[in-house]
Amino acid sequence: MKLKILTMTMVATPWLLGAHTAHVHGVGELNIAVESSRIVLAFESPSESIYGFESEAKTAKQKKIKDEKLTILKTDMGKIFQIDADLKCDWKVEKVGVVQEGEVGHQNVRAEWIATCEKSPMGRSLKIDFGSSFSRLKSLKVNVLKDSGQKSTTLKSATGEIKF
Ligand SMILES: [Zn+2]
């Protein structure tokens, strides 16, 4: 049931992870909804853990690193996510942005992707590797939502493998 709500929300509202509350540097969260031929992924993390600061980029160096790191999320999902090639999944970024967190001076990065696959991803594994690109991210809580229910796992260094 939760899966259906999540999918509908995708169409109507800007962000999947609006209710995300904790803001702990080094800790991110990834919601994954798995359907018959689609995988919908919504990621949120403190900006500090993505590009090292949580203010407007002031110096040229800050602008460069912020741009580089957000570009990985926007266009280079293949560095982060890998699934069996025979599924022929087509990955698209839905949205990547920076939002203000509750406390002044804190910001989060949010990103959403959709993979549309020719074969069902059920029973397959998704390799997740935020660690290689985002070394400040020490831990990632992954919530997998399927028709059969939800399960959560925490990946050390935001890197590991999830079975659908
Ligand atoms: Zn912060």
**Using one digit for the tens of pLDDT, what is the confidence trace for 74-103?**
999 989 999 999 999 999 999 999 988 766
Could you tell me which of 65, 81, 16 has the C-alpha nearest to residue 43? 16
pLDDT number for residue 19: 52
CB 123 within 8 A of CB 84: no
In terms of phi and psi (left: phi > 0; alpha: psi -120 to 50; beta: otherwise), the region of 26 is left
Residue 148: partners with Cβ closer than 8 Å, 6 or more residues away: none
Q: Which residue has the higher pLDDT, 21 or 96?
A: 96
Residue corresponding to tokens 């025979």: 86
Half-sphere exposure of 37 (CA within 13 A, CB side): 6
Ligand 1 midpoint to CA 54 (Å): 6
- Checking if the pLDDT of 9 tops 90, the result is no
Q: Could you tell me the distance, in angstroms and rounded to a whole number, from the CA of residue 26 to the centre of ligand 1? A: 9
From the CA of 97, how far away is ligand 1's center (Å)? 15
User: What is the reported pLDDT for 139?
Assistant: 96
- Tens of pLDDT, residue by residue over 100-156, are 876 678 899 999 999 999 999 999 999 999 999 999 999 999 999 888 888 999 999
Q: Name the residue with higher pLDDT: 25 or 100.
A: 25
Give the number of other CB atoms < 10 A from CB of residue 79: 13
Query: Domain coordinates of the chain in residue numbers?
Result: 2-15+28-163
Query: Which amino acid, one-letter code, is at 95?
Result: K
41 C-alpha to ligand 1 centroid (Å): 22
